[in-house]
Every structure is written in structure tokens, then in C-alpha cells.
Amino acid sequence: MYCLGIESTAHTFGCGIVSFDGKILVNERAVYTSPDKGMIPEEVRKHHLENADKVINNAMQKAKLSWKEISLISFSQGPGLSPSLIVGKNKAIELAKEHDKPIIGINHCVAHLTIGNLVSGFKDPVYLYVSGVNTQIVALQNKRFRVFGETLDIGLGNALDKFGRNAGLGFPAGPKMEELAKKGKYVEFPYSVKGMDVSFSGMVNKAQQLLKTEKIEDVCCGFQETAFAMLCEIAERALAYTGKKELLLIGGVAANKRLNEMLGMMCEARGIKYKIVPMEYTGDQGVMISWQGLLEFKAGRKDNLEVDIRPYERTDDVDVIW
């Protein structure tokens, strides 16, 4: 038995197929890119409409499955851009009708967390989610994924990219800053942890000022050391508070070796197991939607064909019934 999952919250139209016991078969996707204009909802919608059938057909072919073997169709209900969410929802309903399959709409952010469990083997970690837009520290408590701390302004990835764009590093700037930082020495930055929350926009301003007097390598080094230390602090506090024994790093910024080294040291000192979600499963993709659909379906949930999108649904709105 297999579930076919459809992702369409933002730039990616994805289709993943996973077996009911957690074997990942395929992870197909088409990604909307625009070098200068950002994400224009209407263009993203068009991109998804143009690519949906191709992505789904490729996934079915590569998985070598017939529709008879698909037992469930899941899709991203939200949060995300309404015009692109609607494309995924309509496709899921169309397929469910055509092939007479049950359908289930699921929360995209929760799926980012639970696919982490599947690929890491962790059961109940504290999640540190550091992507372009998001910086959050999340853990399961009383049947909900609680956000224990988050950025008060922009996500760390976007902060790095914003500085990088102004410094002429191009996009995405994170990997380039990592290389430059290796050759730099530490310069001081404002350290802003407020309770369990963090803030990065002041650091972007500071980095721009520092560029007038300091070498770019040193600015990158100071920026990274400070931002990563802030993440270590809130992650450590969340581990201490929840008493959990695993830390799982999710999101594009997880590619950074220095961040990994620092979190690894903190975890070793506390006797905590630490893992990173591999890049293939950390960005937006269909496999996580498929897996989350399966988890909820097996726990007894399903939707009917009138199911709708939920563009503003939060991570902690979802009852963890699985």
C-alpha cells in the first residue's frame, strides 16, 4: 500500500510516494525560480499548473506503480500561498475522483517535522528549524507541536541572503558566507536572544556598517559565530526545559558545517543525540506530504472531496493524533 503526496505551498510543486511502512520510493519536483522578482503568486500558480501532470506522471513511472497500488492521496492544505495551494488541492481531488481513492489534506509545517523523524529515526526530538523564512524551536508537548521560540523578525537564511545581496555575494548567500567566514576572524555583533526568541534584522544592519571598515571575511565570521551561538542557546534551553534527549536540525541553513559543529558540541556536552535532516528531505517536497498523510490516515483521519485549503494554519493548530 502506498500514499501519493502532493506539495504546492510555495515555489515547489512536488510529488512523493511512500509505502505504508515508511519506504520512500520517489521524490519528484519542479521548482519555480525567479532571480530578481521573488515569488509572484500568479506566476507560481501558472508554474504549478504547467508542471503538475508531468511531475505526478514522472513520479508514478519512476515508482513503477499502477494506480491500483496507490491507497491514499494526500496534499498540502497550508500554510502557504492560496493560488498555489489551490493547484495542489484541485489536482489531489481530481486524482481521488478519477481513481476512487481516499484523500487527506495535511499541514505542511508539521510534515517538515515528521519527515525528519522518519529519515533520522528519532522518536521525539527538539526540532531546530532554520530555513530562509523560518527560524523556530519546536517540540511535541501535550499532543501538539509547540513553538518554544522563534525569530521576532526575519529567518536566519533570509538575514544571510539580505546581507549577501547588499554585499554583492549573489543568491543564496549562505554558502558563500560560510566559505568567506572560514578565512575570517571574529568581529563583534549584537547578540539578541530575548527569552526563547531571537532577532536577526539588527545583525544585518550591523554587518552592512562593519563592511565599511572591516574585511568581508571577518564580517561573515562574526555574523555566523554570533547567530549560531544564539541558536545554540535557545536549543539548549529548550532541551533543558523539555527534558528531551534528541535534537534534530531542519532547513536549508542546516547545510552549514560550522552551525553543525557548534550544535554538535553543545549536544555532546549535554549527552544529547544530534542529527541533521538530509538536504533531499529538508526543503519543500512531496515525500513529507505523503508520509504525514499516511500517519494521519493510519490514525483514523480522512477528508471528503469538499476538503479545502488552510492558508493560515499554524504548526500548533494541529492535533497530533498519530
Beta carbons within 8 Å of 122's beta carbon, 6+ residues apart = 116, 246, 248, 273, 275
Contacts 24+ apart (CB under 8 A), 62-69: 62/25, 62/26, 62/28, 63/2, 63/17, 63/25, 63/26, 65/2, 65/17, 65/25, 67/99, 67/101, 69/1, 69/2
Is residue 77 part of the contact set for ligand AMP (CB under 6 A)? no
Using CB atoms within 10 A of its CB, is residue 33 exposed (0-12), middle (13-18) or buried (19+)?
Answer: exposed
Q: Per-residue x/- mask for ligand AMP, residues 255 to 274, rule CB under 6 A?
A: xx------------------
Is residue 105 part of the contact set for ligand AMP (CB under 6 A)? no
Q: Which is nearer to ligand AMP, 176 or 215 (CB)?
A: 176
Q: Which stretch in 28-36, 152-160, 227-235, 308-316 sits in contact with ligand AMP by CB under 6 A? A: 152-160
Q: Which position among 284, 296, 303, 313 is part of the footprint of Mg ion (CB under 5 A)? A: 284
Q: Which is nearer to Mg ion, 51 or 131 (CB)?
A: 131
Q: Which position among 172, 184, 222, 293 is part of the footprint of ligand AMP (CB under 6 A)? A: 172
User: 168-202 burial, b if ≥16 CB within 10 A, otherwise e?
Assistant: ebeebbbebbbebbeebeebebeebeeebbbbbee
Q: Which is nearer to Mg ion, 136 or 226 (CB)?
A: 136
Cβ at position 132, least distance to ligand AMP in Å: 3
Q: Which position among 131, 226, 285, 292 is part of the footprint of ligand AMP (CB under 6 A)? A: 131
Distance separating alpha carbons of residues 106 and 313, to the nearest angstrom: 10
Is residue 313 part of the contact set for Mg ion (CB under 5 A)? no
Q: Which is nearer to ligand AMP, 222 or 251 (CB)?
A: 251
**Which residue shows C-alpha cell 523560518?**
134
Q: Which stretch in 86-94, 153-161, 184-192, 270-278 sits in contact with ligand AMP by CB under 6 A? A: 153-161
Closest CB to ligand AMP belongs to which residue? 252
Give 254-303 as a DSSP string.
GG-HHHHHHHHHHHHHHT-EEEE--HHHHSS-HHHHHHHHHHHHHTT--B
Q: How many residues bind Mg ion (CB under 5 A)?
A: 1
Is residue 225 part of the contact set for ligand AMP (CB under 6 A)? no
Cα atoms in the Cβ-side hemisphere of radius 13 Å centred on 98: 9
Task: Find which of ligand AMP, Mg ion, none residue 198 binds, CB within 5 to 8 Å per kind.
Answer: none
Q: Which is nearer to Mg ion, 77 or 226 (CB)?
A: 77
Judged by the rule CB under 5 A, the positions of this chain that interact with Mg ion are 284
Judged by the rule CB under 6 A, the positions of this chain that interact with ligand AMP are 131-132, 157-158, 160-161, 172-175, 178, 251-253, 255-256, 283
